[in-house]
Amino acid sequence: MHQAPRPPEGAPPGLPAADPVAPDNARGILLMLGGFFVFAAVDTIAKFLTAEMHPLQVVWTRQLGLLAIALVLIARGGAGVLRSGRPGLQILRGLLAIGSASLFIYGVRHAPLADAVAVTFVAPFVVTLLGALLLREPVGIHRWSAVAIGFLGTLIVIRPGLGVIHPAMVLVVFAASLFAARQVLSRVIAGVDSTATTIAYTALVGTVLLTLVLPFVWTAPASPRTLVLMVAIAALAGLGEYLVIRALEIAQAVVVAPMHYSLILWSTMYGYLVFGQFPDGWTWVGTAIIVATGLYTLRRERLARRRPAPVEVAPPADI
């Protein structure tokens, strides 16, 4: 694969740009839905494996799928894929990715799968907060309102202090916050490095760090079934990454991005079929609020990016 072009305005940072000539949105939507269907399966297997092994070992196993994608990119693009204009930020992004994945799997080890996934949808609101505070991005009253209502939806899902949800759900909130920080960092990196470079650094940094920790947490697979699940989670993680990347290559990002919310449907299905867990009414109410405000935020961002930039008056030639 050649190095991906820089994403256009409106595309999620760190992901390939859609084809500006002839976007195939229908196919892109199907690929994106397929990608999140696969990611829900990855989360299900991860929750299953945490009953037999340390969560960091599960994260390491899943990371092998992303590493495979990175090695393919390096093989096709050459050593230039590893040349970065901001290597320090790339390493930091890799650390945030591993931190987010580890906290999520620690949390989902105890919490219902669908509830945990619903809470991760708070990430876009954290991105808005961090973008305003760190990147000085303008945020109007509409988006601040969406952030406040989105957090309210999250509180409805978690219901702190009522003993309804396992305290480990707090780890999922932190995981979503680290994921949001990674997205904000991607906005800075996207103007300097290609998507291939970002994927390669994230995969390599995460794999190296987790491999250093692995001897302290390693548990040998207890059965052939466990070994099969370890292979499956790595393969599916790589497949999910490919499907999402491909969707953003052929379709408009603003069209396929909302498909992320299908994750709650797939996670609910897997959680019910595999673990016999089904969200209660309040969880669905909170999830509906989070999704609605998330979609509203995406729409506001799309409209904001469509507005023409102010015309600057050129300075005199002698300045």
- 316 pLDDT higher than 50: no
What per-residue confidence (pLDDT) applies to 225? 93
- 195 pLDDT higher than 90: no
Q: What is the pLDDT of residues 54-66, one digit of tens each?
A: 999 999 999 999 9
What per-residue confidence (pLDDT) applies to 318? 38
Secondary structure letter of residue 314 according to DSSP: P
Min mean pLDDT across 108-112, 135-139, 225-229 is at 135-139
- 13 pLDDT higher than 50: no
What per-residue confidence (pLDDT) applies to 68? 92
Query: Which residue matches tokens 């609605």?
Result: 292
- 186 pLDDT higher than 70: yes
pTM, to two decimals: 0.77
What per-residue confidence (pLDDT) applies to 314? 37
**By C-alpha distance, which of 134, 195, 216, 200 is closest to 11?**
195
Cβ pair 198, 186 in contact under 8 A? yes
Q: Which two three-digit tokens encode residue 282?
A: 């309040």
For the beta carbon of residue 152, count every other beta carbon within 10 angstroms: 13
Q: What residue ranges do the domains of the chain occupy?
A: 25-305
Report how far Cα 59 is from the mean position of its chain's Cα atoms.
14
